[in-house]
Amino acid sequence: MSPLFERQVDKLREGHFLVLYWVARAEDTGHAYNITNAFDDLKAQGITRTKQTAVAMIEALDALDFLRLQGQGNRKHLLITEDGARALERLVHKGAFQPRRSSFLEAQS
Amino acid sequence: MTIGIGGAGSKLSALLDPHNLIINVSEIELEKVRAEEKLLAVLHSEKGQRRGARKNPLLGAEAFASIKVRLMDRIKGELVFASTGGGTGNGICSQILNELAAQKEVPEEERTRFGLLVPYAPQESAEYVKNTIDFLSGPVSRAVDSGNTGNIFLFSNREKYEKRLSEPRFNEQLVASLRNFLDIPARGAALPLLEGHIDYEDFDLYLSRPFFNYFTSFELGGEEDFGSLLARHANPYLLQPDAPIEALFFLELPTGWDPTVFYRVVDHLVRSSAAPIFSVAENPERQRPFITLSLLYSRKPEGLVADFQRIAQTHDEERIRKSVEQQVTLRPQRVDLEQEARKAGQRAGKSEEDVLSVLRRIGKLR
């Protein structure tokens, strides 16, 4: 694990962690998780109140190549990359954040 | 010279010795007690120093820094009084003991003696008991192990509470009892000696031994076994001793009394593996033989702490029982066992495993 990768992961905040976690869960259960779902869940958890912030978090994860976006507009479907999985693994080992519930995923199950 | 730290320590030192030095963190408390010298330990407070350490030893420990150099020099070979339950005496004294424990070796003539006033656990506040437990298990234990202190007298407030004495009255009686012991070399010098000899140097050497000191005095009567006499005349102002290591006694006999009576005492002490140093003198003012006896014992402070902890636990149980009894009706709680199990699992790190197993399932983590 390169020092740059470690520094990048260490800068991630709880919102980033939750998006990565929810995206992975959605992929695991075979559901498409998009920016609107991520915004709704982040808002429900009190992480942010604006869609701009939610989009900025997702763009940051995309720029770091921790997420991949498929599709068009707000319907873009989010997928976690292998680097994203390693980043999430590191955050879990650090015990930095705790997973929280996703209204979207609960509604699907 | 004696040194009194904190409220209780200052009062005891003032009673025993007019040439005393008292130390406090509160100007008001300093003004209350007569002393030859007074030393204000400085607390960094924006409101001025009109308040004490408020039963918080951490405040006393902080204030110690301001007087450390002067105080560590002044206590050499002296008797320091402090109570273990409050904030100032406990806080400053614990720092003194820590400093002594850290020193390589303190010469015998420079070893400080301590008179520590321990609360009567069944009737004093749990805060005092807790402070005392911390004090005995930490600084006292370390200092005793280092061998760098002189005698430590563990005075107890028990008599005060059981006999319902006022504080000045209790202090007077305690100090009178201590003075009777400390006067042994002076009485020995003033009276005609019949056997043995304890001079000032012998006595000082005895006081510089790093053990707990228990002393008592009583009349030697009839043919009663000395052990049972000793038990019957226990000093109510001191904690009870453990098996003695060393002993010292001063026996005063009426004029014409058979001096060999001292063998009764020696035999008993030798049976307890504490061969004594002693002195027998003729005192025409006595009607019956009168003995002042001291035992040095090295009871591990853990033993004392165990006693206090047992009492503190009883206090806690009693408090919990009372608060439960006050809540007359307890509403039944609905518990979702599945949810509780999930929460417990998360607390135990199950959530961590969950996240990683998701990542493995989707093949992103190898």
In the 3-class helix/strand/coil scheme, how is B304-351 assigned residue by residue? HHHHHHHHHHHHHHHHHHHHHHHCCCCCCCCCCHHHHHHHHHHHCCHH
- Measured in angstroms, the CA of A79 and the nearest CA of chain B are apart by 10
Residue B327 has pLDDT above 80, yes or no: no
> What is the average pLDDT score of chain A?
90
The pLDDT assigned to B47 comes to 55
The helix/strand/coil state of B238 is strand
What average pLDDT does the segment B285-313 reach?
Answer: 80
pLDDT at B49 over 60: no
d(CA B345, CA B352): 10
Of B355, B361, B364, the CB nearest to A99: B355
Of B346, B352, B361, the CB nearest to A92: B352
Over range B296-301, report the average pLDDT.
73
Chain A residues touching residue B342 (CB < 8 angstroms): none
pLDDT in the model for residue B64: 86
Helix, strand, coil % in chain B, rounded to nearest 5: 50, 20, 35
Written as one letter, the residue type at A5 is F
Contacts of A61 in chain B (CB under 8 A): none
Residues 289-348 of B with CB under 8 A from A: 346
Q: Which of residues 44-103 of A touch B (CB under 8 A)?
A: 80-82, 84-86, 88-89, 92-93, 95, 98-99
Instruction: Name the E strands within B85-180.
Output: 113-118, 152-156
- Could you give the C-alpha distances from B243 to A107, B194, B210, B270, in angstroms and in order? 74, 29, 15, 12
- Predicted structure pTM score: 0.65
Q: Answer yes or no: do B364 and A95 touch at CB < 8 A.
A: no
Burial classification of residue B44, based on how many CB atoms lie within 10 Å of its CB (0-12 exposed, 13-18 middle, 19 or more buried): exposed
Q: What's the pLDDT score for residue B75?
A: 93
Closest partner residue to A85 among B346, B351, B365, by Cβ?
B365
Per-residue confidence (pLDDT) for residue B299, from 0 to 100: 64
pLDDT tier for residue B160 given thresholds of 50, 70 and 90: very high
Confidence of residue B22 (pLDDT cuts 50, 70, 90): very high
Q: Is the pLDDT assigned to residue B311 strictly greater than 60?
A: yes
Bridge partners, B217 (sequence order): B292
pLDDT for residue A21 is more than 80 = yes
- pLDDT for the residue numbered B266: 92
**Residues of chain B contacting A84 with CB distance shorter than 8 Å:** 364
pLDDT score for B350: 61
Give pLDDT tens digits for B203-257.
999 999 999 999 999 998 777 888 889 999 999 999 888 788 899 999 999 998 9
Q: Could you give the 3-state DSSP secondary structure of residue B183?
A: coil
- State the nearest Cα–Cα gap between B339 and chain A, in angstroms: 13
d(CA B212, CA B200): 20
Give the tens place of pLDDT for each residue, B61-101: 778 888 888 999 999 999 999 998 888 888 899 999 999 99
pLDDT band at B293; cut points 50, 70, 90: very high
Per-residue pLDDT for B153 more than 90? yes
Mean pLDDT of the region B22-50: 80
Local structure of B364: helix, strand or coil: coil
The ipTM estimated for the assembled molecules is 0.86
Residues of chain A with C-beta less than 8 angstroms from the C-beta of B346 = 98
Are A24 and B358 a contacting pair at CB < 8 A?
yes
Chain B contacts in chain A segment 20-49 (CB below 8 A): 21, 24-25, 27-28
What percentage of residues in chain B have a pLDDT greater than 90? 43
Answer whether B355 touches A (CB < 8 Å): yes
The one-letter code for the residue type at A78 is L
For A58-81, what is the mean pLDDT?
A: 88
Are the beta carbons of B64 and B92 closer than 8 angstroms?
yes
The two most distant CA atoms of chain B are separated, in Å, by: 105
**Measured torsion, CA atoms of residues B141, B145, B149, B153, in degrees rounded to the nearest 10:** 50
In this prediction, residues B182-210 reach a mean pLDDT of 92
When pLDDT is cut at 50, 70 and 90, the band that residue B50 belongs to is low
Mean pLDDT of B91-120: 91
The pLDDT value given to residue B225: 87
Q: Quick one: DSSP state of residue B157?
A: S
